[in-house]
Structures are given as C-alpha cells and as structure tokens.
Structure 1
Amino acid sequence: MSTSTAPVEPRKQFASSIPLWVRTDQPRETGMGYWKGPHSKIISATKGFQEYRQIHLADVNPGLWPPTRGVETEIPVERKIDGVAEITFQSALSPLRGRKQTRLAFKDEVNVFRRTLLYFGPPYSSRWYDLAEPGEPVGARALIYLRRRDGVRASDFRTHFVELTDALAATGMLKELRTQTFLPWIEKFWDTPNVAHDNPVDQRFHASLILGFADPAARAAFFKSRELQSLSDALAPFTSAVHAYEVSEALTFVKDGAALPQYQQ
C-alpha cells in the first residue's frame, strides 16, 4: 500500500443512508430488480435531492474486514443487509421540500422491502474525498458500517473516525471515499407502514464508509494489507463491530440535482 504525501481536503455534504432488506417471500432478484426499476422512479422524482444512489450488496457477504480482537467483523446472517439507499440533499431544508413524494415512497416500500431503517447525521457532516483522477472509473466498492463500543463517548468515537478516514484517504489505494457519522437512531423519523423497523440497541450503527477501488483485485489487496490491519487494531478500543460488505452495483439515479433518464454505474 502506497502513501500519498498530499492531504486531500474532503467536500462536506448533507447525506443520509437507508439500509434495506428485501422481502423473502419472493426471489431476491425480483426485489432487487423492483428497487432498481419502479421504486427508483418514485424516489428520483423527490424534490431537493443533490444525488440519489442505490448501493446493491452482494448476496453472499460474510464480511471483508480483517479479523480484529474484540471486534465483530463477521456479518450475522440474520441481520445481513441487501442494499442501501444513499441520499444527498441540496440543502438543510431539502427534506421538507420532498415530503409529498416521500409519502408515495412510504406506500411503495411494502412491495419490495421487509425492513428499512434511516440513519442520518448533522447537516454537512458527511465527507467526500475526491481521490480518482478526472474520468477515472471506480471498478469495485465496499460499504462499511461501524458500531461504537459501549462506554465510549460519541465525541471520542467521532474524533477517531475522522482520523481513520483521513488515514484511509492517504493510502493511495482508494478511488472513492465517502463517510457518514450518525445521530442517535429514532424510529419515528422513518416509520413507514407495513414494513419492519426493528433496530435493537446492540445492533445499531454509528458511522459508515464507502470505499471505491480500481478493480476487485485492488479491493481484495486492500482488505488483506498489513496497513489496514494496523488501522483496525487502533480502531478496536472505539468500535465493537465493523461490518464490511462487498458492493455488487452502485447505481446513480439523481446527479447534480437532476434525475437521470437512465441510471449511471
């Protein structure tokens, strides 16, 4: 793993993420296809979005993060996520502009999902690092959720999380890096009808990362590297679980504030 000498200044965004579990009474491919098709059209019409991206996760996802003492890195099968809706707003008032369309999305959720959760942080606390050269594609991604260890103050966790993301940005191996830290989870903010929202305290997350790589081989090399193991060991006092998912597709439906006629990969 090479190290970049020039620090990268992140762009701050107002973003949220919605982990999703598709219904199990139909083939998984049916649910993922409906999310990509009819459901995406409802979401894409929402006012106030700067970007709307679907993160589709591989069906088989035991966990990419290296084993770390005292940290849960194996993803429990019963809580394994199928995908994440990543929404970036134009402004802090944007969620209010989209309420009418959001109600339509609420009603449609039951057609595809069995459980949905909403995580969001303070406005402009999400950090995007521009690491790829202009026009350079991202050929593989990983999505990572982190759970704060009991007894660790939220401020200490956030401070170390920023240190971690800055270190990741400096490795020279990433083509994309997006981060979020979450406010305490409250069910009523996304209490959609006929869909489960169970989220026990010991299963909640407090931050996320999206890592982009040149190709799957670069992703595999990153997760096996000694440098990442060192970063993980330093993270362990602050974190009780790190669930790293292999991303199968990252599809953009709204970009730069405009709905696209066809999603971009």
Structure 2
Amino acid sequence: MSRPVKTTSFMSPVWLRADLPRETALGYWAGPHAEIAGRLPNLAEYVQRHFSPTDHGYWPSSPTVGTAVPTSRRCDGVAEVRFGSTVAALGMPLRMREVYLDEQNVFERVLGQVTGPGGGRWWTGGHDDAVGHRTILLLRRRRGVSGRAFRKYVQDRIGPALHEAGGRDLRTYTFLPWSRLVHPTLGVSHDNPAFRRTSC
C-alpha cells in the first residue's frame, strides 16, 4: 500500500433551509454557491456531498457505541475543502467573506470543522466520479481518550483497514476542537452541543 498524502482540510456538515423546497436548495448549493466557493484561491479541491434524506444509519447498534442519529441532527450533506498548503489554509478566512455571506441563502445550520496542519489523509487519488455510492463515517472521541490516541486510531487503524478493504475514494480527517469561530456565518445557526461534536 502506498503511503497516504497528508492534507490540511476543512469539512462542514450543513443543514438546508427548511423554508425552501429541498430540490431548490440542493440546486442553489450545487450551482450559485458552488461557483462562489470555487473562485477561492489556493484550493486543491472543493466537493459537495449531498446526503440522501432516507438512506442513512448503516452502522449496527451496540450497547457501548451510540449509532442512532436523532432526526433533528441528520444533516443534508457536507462541504469538503482541501487546501493547496497549510499556508493557504491559514489565509483562507480572510478570503471567504463572499462564501460566508451567501450561506444564509441556502443553509439553516453550518458546523465548520478544520484539521490541524496535515491532519487529513488522502488514501486514494482524489475525487472519483465513477464511485456510485459514498458513505461518510463520523466518529466522536470518547471523553478521557487523548486527542493523540484518537488521531492515531483513525489514521493508523481505520484508514488502512478501509483502504485494504478496497475503498475507492478514501480520505480520513481528524479535526481540531470545534469552535464556532472557525465558521462565523451571519444569519446561519452554529449551535453544536459538546455531546454532539464530531472529532473525525
């Protein structure tokens, strides 16, 4: 297995506005909003993952692992950004004003998550349009588990296992502690209680 490429990345679970028809909101996100985001400099990739409103929750239930996502917390998709470099990532918030202002046109809630420098891993060559079905697995670090141990588990155990199993468009991320300051969009909710925060 070739070594994965380290990346500095940003991922935002998003909830579409409830007062817009779903197809209208998805069309705006994929069209006008994507065009604004795509104009940002120094991006290696900007991808949207639109989730099915019904197709979710494959992970089997367990007495020790919470796997059921409450209806109120089922997001409509994620926006994923891979920066050209760590330096580009540090300068990006100053350039995102137009993106931030446009988010209120389509989103009700946005929860921006950012990796540390090199906190992402790309195990395959990048976005593969031939992949017909995608699964996103979000993990939350258990209290009492160190961030370092969790990152090692994700990058050294889960990533290689999924790659060996044949994942065709595979990437793993571990995020810095969540802060609403990472994604300060006006007119959009950023509420994210501690017990719901994603660590990967």
The two structures have a TM-score, normalised by structure 2, of 0.92
Aligned to 1:69: 63
Matches within 5 A, 1:54-65: 54-65=48-59
- CA–CA separation in structure 2 for the residues paired with 1:131 and 1:74: 32
Matches within 5 A, 1:111-122: 111-122=105-116
Higher Cα radius of gyration:
1
> Structure 1, unaligned stretches of length 5 or more?
1-6, 208-265
Corresponding position: 1:83 with 2:77: yes
Q: CA deviation at 1:96?
A: 5.0
What letter is aligned with 2:137? I
Q: Alpha-carbon deviations, 1:157-203, whole Å to 9, x = none?
A: 122222121122112x3212100001101111211101100000000
> Structure 2, unaligned stretches of length 5 or more?
none
Aligned-CA RMSD value? 1.9
Instruction: Find the residue that maps to 1:188 and give its secondary structure.
Output: helix
Instruction: Find the residue that maps to 2:117 and give its secondary structure.
Output: coil
- CA–CA separation in structure 1 for the residues paired with 2:26 and 2:66: 27
- CA–CA separation in structure 2 for the residues paired with 1:43 and 1:128: 21
Aligned to 2:132: 139
- CA–CA separation in structure 1 for the residues paired with 2:181 and 2:13: 16
Instruction: Find the residue that maps to 2:8 and give its secondary structure.
Output: strand
Q: CA deviation at 1:54?
A: 0.6
Aligned to 2:41: 47
Q: CA deviation at 1:61?
A: 3.8
Residues 43 and 81, structure 2, Cα contact 8 Å, conserved in 1:
yes
Q: CA deviation at 1:131?
A: 7.4
Q: Alpha-carbon deviations, 1:36-78, whole Å to 9, x = none?
A: 0111111011111111111111111441112233111122110
Aligned to 1:15: 9
Corresponding position: 1:196 with 2:166: no
Corresponding position: 1:103 with 2:94: no
Residues 28 and 106, structure 2, Cα contact 8 Å, conserved in 1:
yes
Matches within 5 A, 1:1-265: 7-95=1-89, 97-99=91-93, 101-130=95-124, 137-162=130-155, 163-171=157-165, 173-207=166-200
The two structures have a TM-score, normalised by structure 1, of 0.70
Which consecutive segments of 4 or more residues in structure 1 shift more than 3 A? 95-101
Residues 8 and 170, structure 1, Cα contact 8 Å, conserved in 2:
no
Residues 131 and 174, structure 1, Cα contact 8 Å, conserved in 2:
no
Percent of aligned positions that are identical = 38
Q: CA deviation at 1:124?
A: 1.5
Residues 131 and 169, structure 2, Cα contact 8 Å, conserved in 1:
yes
Q: Alpha-carbon deviations, 1:108-156, whole Å to 9, x = none?
A: 1111001001111111221111279xx8932211111101112212122
Residues 154 and 172, structure 2, Cα contact 8 Å, conserved in 1:
no
Residues 123 and 159, structure 2, Cα contact 8 Å, conserved in 1:
no
What letter is aligned with 1:205? T
- CA–CA separation in structure 1 for the residues paired with 2:129 and 2:103: 35
Instruction: Find the residue that maps to 1:137 and give its secondary structure.
Output: coil
State which drifts further: 50-59 or 156-165: 156-165
What letter is aligned with 1:145? L
Q: Alignment length, in residue pairs?
A: 198
